[in-house]
């Protein structure tokens, strides 16, 4: 990916952060939701020179940032897109939260797959698919533990962040959504990702930017 596109994605995230930080519905929820963005984007920028990701990975990470930032501004239970879907399809709840957890598997799957392909002897096949999916499930479970910790520390102030909307099986649904997202991501983008990985490796060896 050329630096110009990378800068454009970064500018988009920065603009969204500014928008979302202006009078969010719940300030604590906003901080908790955008924390992965505030930590992850600088890390990606710092490592871009020595470990550039594929264009697919950067674009999907941008999409994940959008989902998190929008959810942080409104809280997941109040996002207008979810409210529209709720009314249009007669749903029992605002399912933007479900979209967020599908993304929690769909997008980290490409990042995990990329690291496993480039830092281990694994090649496309059953073991790569299985281990990538396992990493995504572990990531989802870790996020649920973080939610539990937030609820323990902040009590009722963290209710908007948890976004359970009265569903006693919300944690299980969240992890199932992440699992489905991880499987779907690899099935849909596996071959494209392999082609981009080959291009990244060739570009890195030649010392030229990844296009």
Q: Where are the domains of the chain?
A: 3-206
> What residue has token string 């207008």?
80
Cβ distance 24 to 30 under 8 Å? yes
Q: Which of 188, 196, 198 is nearest to 57 (CA)?
A: 196
Measure the CA–CA gap between 45 and 151, rounded to whole angstroms: 31
Position 208 scores a pLDDT of 56
Structure tokens at 149: 């910790």
Position 114 scores a pLDDT of 97
Residue 74 phi, psi (nearest 5): -95, -20
Position 209 scores a pLDDT of 54
Position 157 scores a pLDDT of 67
Measure the CA–CA gap between 151 and 173, rounded to whole angstroms: 18
> What residue has token string 């099986």?
169
Q: Give the 3-state secondary structure of residue 92.
A: coil
Residues whose CB falls within 8 Å of the CB of residue 189, separated by 6 or more in sequence, listed in order: 56, 110
- Count Cβ neighbours within 10 Å for each residue of 75-95 and write b for 16 or more, e otherwise: bbbbbeebbebeeeeeeebbb
pTM score, whole prediction: 0.89
Terminal-to-terminal C-alpha distance of the chain: 4
In tens digits, what is the pLDDT along the chain, a chain of 211 residues?
778 899 999 999 999 999 999 999 999 999 999 999 999 999 998 998 889 999 999 999 999 999 999 999 999 989 999 999 999 999 888 899 999 999 999 999 999 999 999 999 999 999 999 999 999 999 999 988 988 888 888 887 666 676 667 777 888 989 999 999 999 999 999 999 999 999 988 876 665 555 5
Position 92 scores a pLDDT of 86
Cβ distance 159 to 20 under 8 Å? no
Furthest-apart CA atoms within the chain: distance in Å: 55
Position 156 scores a pLDDT of 74
Position 164 scores a pLDDT of 67
Position 1 scores a pLDDT of 74
């Amino acid at each position: 990916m050329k630096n110009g596109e990378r800068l454009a994605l970064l500018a988009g995230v920065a603009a969204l952060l500014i928008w979302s930080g202006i009078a969010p519905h719940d300030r604590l929820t906003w901080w908790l939701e955008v924390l992965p963005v505030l930590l992850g984007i600088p890390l990606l920028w710092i490592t871009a020179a020595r470990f550039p990701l594929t264009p697919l990975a950067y674009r999907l990470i941008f999409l994940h940032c959008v989902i998190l930032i929008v959810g942080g501004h409104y809280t997941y239970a109040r996002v207008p897109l979810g409210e529209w879907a709720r009314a249009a399809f007669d749903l029992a709840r605002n399912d933007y939260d479900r979209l967020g957890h599908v993304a929690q598997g769909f997008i980290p799957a490409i990042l995990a797959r990329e690291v496993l392909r480039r830092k281990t002897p694994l090649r496309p096949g059953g073991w790569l698919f299985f281990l990538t999916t396992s990493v995504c499930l572990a990531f989802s479970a870790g996020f649920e533990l973080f939610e539990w910790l937030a609820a323990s520390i902040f009590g009722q102030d963290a209710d908007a962040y948890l976004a359970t909307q009265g569903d006693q099986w919300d944690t299980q649904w969240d992890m199932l959504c992440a699992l489905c997202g991880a499987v779907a991501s690899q099935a849909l983008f596996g071959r494209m990702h392999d082609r981009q990985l080959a291009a990244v490796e060739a570009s890195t060896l030649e010392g030229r930017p990844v296009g």
